[in-house]
Amino acid sequence: MALQVTEFGCGGIAIGLCISHKVCDGTTIASFLKAWSQKAMGEASSSPLNMEASFLFPHKGIEIDINDRLGEKNITTKRFLFSGNSLCKLKEEISRGCGFKPTRVEAVTTLIWKSALEAARTTELSDKSSSFLLHVVNIRGRMQPPLPENSLGNLFVPSISPLFEVDKETKMELQDLVEVVRNTIKMVDGNYVRKLQGDGQELMETLEPMSQKFYLVAKKGVPCYGFSSWVRFGFYETNFGWGKPTWVCTIGVPIKNVIILMPACSGDGGLEAWITLNELHMCQF
């Protein structure tokens, strides 16, 4: 872990934090910051980081190599801001044609995925475009019984949609995609996590569809748009004694088609989306 404190001439302070992803995920970082800030304020801290997960998920020798996605050229990252008011309008627009009201994360995911697909197919020559949607799902609350949120580790599952294909002439609607988004996230439930904890054939049968999709992405070049929501991490509640943060942000992830969702600093329920795309696609996006 690395920490950096920067003091500015105006009196402002910035705290930078970096932890190896081999050790923990974003939820663990949020728990660490919460406990640290409570200690700094002299408050009774939450319980220390829970180490139980390492016993529930012993190492099984299964590895997924993502190094081929690192170091990509001709990509760029931009930050997009969605106000709370615009998100309410977006949710209402989507709900009129799909039979349910999406969450703000589902709504923004749907809009970004649709826009990215349209941007990609305006620059490609093929008659049909296809892609996967991937959403990172925190499994702590989905286990049976649930694990506490302060459990240390990489306790998430990359949930991947079925292959989504559309003809170049077909007009995509938000309602066409939002059900795919919701079903992809909801696929990770207590039964799914139980299978991941198992061994042998049941575990391999659970992982096989994911492995096949990763193969299509890595070897066949099928685009995969990966989303990770940090919206509920509570970063804006972190107070070391001089008030809550003015702004909390991540950094650009140097991997194509990766989107990180952060809460907006306005506190009105808005979101920031940090989006990394191919440079040509980003112009159209």
Kindly give the confidence (pLDDT) of every residue in the chain, 285 residues in length, as a single tens digit, with 9 standing for 90 and above: 999 999 999 999 999 999 998 889 999 999 999 989 998 999 876 667 888 888 888 877 777 665 556 667 899 999 999 999 999 999 999 999 888 999 999 999 999 999 999 998 887 766 668 899 999 999 999 998 999 999 999 999 999 999 998 877 778 899 989 999 999 999 999 999 999 888 778 888 888 888 899 889 888 889 999 999 999 999 999 999 999 999 999 887 788 999 999 999 998 999 999 999 999 999 999
* 3-state SS, residue 56: helix
Total number of domains in the chain? 1
Can you list the pairs that 90-98 forms with residues at least 24 positions away whose Cβ atoms lie under 8 Å?
A: 93/174, 94/174, 94/175, 94/178, 97/173, 97/174, 97/175, 98/175, 98/178, 98/179
Q: Note the Cα 154 to chain centre separation in Å.
A: 13
**Tens of pLDDT, residues 25-80:** 999 999 999 989 998 999 876 667 888 888 888 877 777 665 556 667 899 999 99
Helix (H) or strand (E) holding 239: none
pLDDT at 65: 62
| Residue 48: partners with Cβ closer than 8 Å, 6 or more residues away | 35, 150
**Rounded CA separation 130/122 (Å):** 13
Tokens for 34? Answer: 């919460």
| Residue 108: partners with Cβ closer than 8 Å, 6 or more residues away | 82, 87, 90, 261, 271, 273
Residue with tokens 């942000």: 249
Average pLDDT across the chain, whole number: 89
**Rounded CA separation 189/71 (Å):** 34
pLDDT at 99: 86
Task: Please state the pTM of the whole predicted model.
Answer: 0.92
Tokens for 284? Answer: 């159209």
Q: N- to C-terminal Cα distance for the chain? A: 35
Residue range of the domain that includes 127: 2-284
**With contact defined as beta carbons under 8 Å apart, do 165 and 128 qualify?**
yes
pLDDT at 243: 92
pLDDT at 261: 97
The CA distances from residue 180 to 142, 175, 184, 226, 236, in Å, are 20, 9, 6, 14, 31
**With contact defined as beta carbons under 8 Å apart, do 248 and 158 qualify?**
no
pLDDT at 178: 96
CATH number at residue 164: 3.30.559.10
